[in-house]
Each structure stands twice: as C-alpha cells, then as structure tokens.
C-alpha cells in the first residue's frame, strides 16, 4: 500500500488509472478503523480496479471542539489494518492541504435533510461533512465511493450532494457491521468499558424489537414501545425516530417501504448512533 501525503502525490499516483478509465473505489474515513471500515475496503475491492482510503479528522464537521480533540488518532495501526485487507493507497492529507488559505467552502442548502435528527443536535455537522467529502472527491476523483449505513443520515445527505453537484460518482452503501452482541461497530466503542459495551446492546435489541413489531402496530405505537425500552435502561436517549428513508421525515400514521428507525443514546459519556430498516424497501 502506498501512503500519499500530498495532493500532488495523489494526482501522480492516480493519473494513469483516471486516463485509462479504471474504476477507482474511495473509502473516506476519519481513522480509528474497525471492521466496519475494513468491510467497505473489501466491498470496494470486489467492484473496483483499485482502492483508495483516506484518513482525515475533519475539523469543520465537529460542532464541539472538545470532541475534535478527543477523537482517537492512530495512523500507524490504521495503515497496518488497511494494508491487511489489500487497500492500494492511503491518502493522509494535512488540514492545510484540504483547506488552503482562501478555500471556498461548499455551501449547499440541505434542508430539510439536515434539519432533523443529527442536524438538530449537531448544528453545522452536515455542512462540514459535505464540505470535506466534496473536496476529497475532487482530489481523488473516484468512480465509486463507499460509506457505512450506520451513519444513515450522512449517507442520504452525501447522495443528495452528489446528485446536486451532478457528480457521476456511484455512492455504495455498506451494511452496518455489528459485534456478536449486536452493538454496531464504531470508533467510539473504544471509549466504552466492558460493562458499558454490555449495556449498550439495548440499542440493537430495541431496534430489532421495532422490526418484529412493525407488521402489527402503527409507526407511532412501535415508537412508543421502543422509547420505553431505552428509557428503562441505563442509557440516556437523545432521540429515537422512525423516518421515511428518502425524506428522513418522521412516519407517524402509516408505514412506507424503507421505513427506518434511527437512534442516538448516551452510554455514560459516549454518544452512540445506530439505525435499522423496519420495513423492507
């Protein structure tokens, strides 16, 4: 695996692949890699001629500076993991090269997609995400880009941005990878104690319960049952919504295909996010 630290190195390394219309798979990450990220690399390798991963902890998507400082950074370990699954290139840019002086940040109206759920609790977060993803797309020039379904709202917003900018990049969504206990893999799990990991399994239990109940109850009734499970646990619920997969707006009276339950709950200090499709699209 070749490690690329400058924009010029990326351009030189991918020039021939671009000129010869190779399929370039791209997996943008913020590092602290886990099985979820590695499964995206594996998926990218199945469809593309070469795979580029990036690690960049993007300051513009953190609305809380303490979160940015606390974000785990372990580039050597990450590089070894990427190499172990056959990633071809690792792009490790500096903040200055992503956002050089005078850089015109992407401005795009994402409403209402960025006004609900994560958008409500993390104002400005998605503006930062599309800012960096569009910049990385412009540098790497992938034909395919891979994102995990765990960040469901992020995936929908990146698809929207790609369409709005008329980019021809195919956005591929990888399934959420879970521990045996059902806990969704996340870089944040590193901050959970063994006991907390056990407590956090209530999230997936609740989502699975919602899926079982969906054929029998209305979205509103299922939601009430699900909320009561989390509220009875040691976790602190931030939000739990059942939303339409396209608009991300809450479903209350009737089910639509793709209806998805999205949840955020705190386990101690750690903010955990997860979702599950309750009605198959």
Nearer to ligand PAF, 100 or 257 (CB): 100
Q: Which residue in 10, 29, 82, 113 binds ligand PAF (CB under 6 A)?
A: 29
Q: Does 118 bind ligand PAF (CB under 6 A)?
A: no
Smallest distance, ligand PAF to C-beta of residue 104, A: 18
Only one of the segments 6-14, 76-84, 127-135, 196-204 lies at the binding site for ligand PAF (rule: CB under 6 A); that segment is 127-135
Does 60 sit near ligand PAF (CB under 6 A)? Answer: no
**According to CB under 6 A, which one of 133, 242, 272, 278 is a site residue for ligand PAF?**
133
28 is an interface residue for ligand PAF by CB under 6 A: yes
Residue from 24, 30, 82, 85 that binds ligand PAF (CB under 6 A)? 30
Tokens of 119: 């958008």
**233 contributes a contact to ligand PAF by CB under 6 A:** no
Token look-up 């910049």 returns: 135
Among 14, 24, 85, 129, binds ligand PAF (CB under 6 A): 129
Using the minimum distance from each CB to ligand PAF, give the nearer residue, 32 or 214. 32
CB of 233 or CB of 260, closer to ligand PAF: 260
Q: 6-45 burial string, b = 16+ CB within 10 Å, else e?
A: ebebbeebbeebeeeeeebbbbbbbbbbbebbbbbbbbbb
Return the H-helix or E-strand segment holding 267.
Answer: strand 260-267
- Is 37 noted as a catalytic residue in this protein? yes
Write down the least CB distance from residue 54 to ligand PAF, Å: 7
Count residues contacting ligand PAF (CB under 6 A)? 10
Q: Which tokens hold the place of 120?
A: 């409500």
Q: Of the listed 34, 37, 125, 144, which one is catalytic?
A: 37
| Half-sphere exposure (Cβ direction) of 231: Cα atoms closer than 13 Å | 8
Does position 44 interact with ligand PAF (CB under 6 A)? The reply is: no
Stretch that binds ligand PAF, among 25-33, 77-85, 207-215, 237-245 (CB under 6 A): 25-33
| Opening angle at CA 75, ends 60 and 188, nearest 5 | 60
The SS3 call for residue 196 is helix
Range 203-224 burial, b when 16+ CB lie within 10 A, else e: bbebbebbbebbeeebbeebbe
Q: How far apart are CA 67 and CA 54, in angstroms?
A: 20
Residue 189 has, within 13 A of its CA and on its CB side, a CA count of 21
Binding mask 137-176 for ligand PAF (x = CB under 6 A): --------------x--x----------------------
Residues 6+ positions from 204 with CB-CB distance below 8 Å:
178, 181, 182, 183, 184, 274, 276
Per CB under 6 A, residues contacting ligand PAF are: 28-30, 58, 61, 129, 132-133, 151, 154
Catalytic residues: 37
């Amino acid at each position: 695996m070749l490690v690329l630290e400058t924009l010029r190195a990326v351009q030189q390394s991918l020039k021939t692949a671009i000129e010869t219309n190779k399929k370039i798979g791209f997996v943008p990450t913020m590092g602290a890699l886990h099985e979820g990220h590695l499964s995206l690399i594996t998926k990218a390798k199945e469809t593309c001629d070469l795979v580029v991963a990036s690690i960049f902890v993007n300051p513009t998507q953190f609305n809380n500076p303490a979160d940015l400082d606390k974000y785990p950074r372990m580039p050597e370990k990450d590089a070894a993991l990427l190499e172990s699954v056959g990633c071809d290139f690792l792009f490790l840019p500096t903040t200055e090269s992503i956002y050089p002086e005078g850089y015109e940040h992407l401005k795009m109206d994402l409403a209402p997609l960025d006004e609900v759920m994560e958008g409500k609790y993390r104002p400005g977060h998605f503006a930062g995400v599309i800012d960096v993803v569009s910049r990385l797309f412009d540098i790497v020039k992938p034909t395919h880009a891979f994102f995990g379904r765990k960040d469901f709202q992020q995936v929908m917003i990146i698809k929207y941005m790609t369409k709005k900018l008329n980019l021809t990049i195919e956005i591929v969504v990888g399934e959420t990878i879970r521990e045996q206990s059902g806990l969704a893999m996340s870089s944040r799990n590193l901050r959970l104690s063994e006991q907390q990991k056990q407590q956090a399994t209530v999230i997936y239990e609740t989502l699975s319960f919602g899926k079982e109940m969906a054929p029998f109850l209305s979205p509103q009734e299922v939601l009430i049952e699900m909320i009561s499970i989390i509220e009875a646990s040691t976790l602190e619920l931030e939000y739990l919504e059942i939303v339409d997969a396209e608009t991300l707006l809450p479903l209350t009276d009737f089910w639509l295909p793709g209806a998805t339950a999205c949840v955020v709950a705190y386990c101690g200090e750690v903010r955990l996010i997860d979702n599950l499709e309750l009605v198959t699209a």
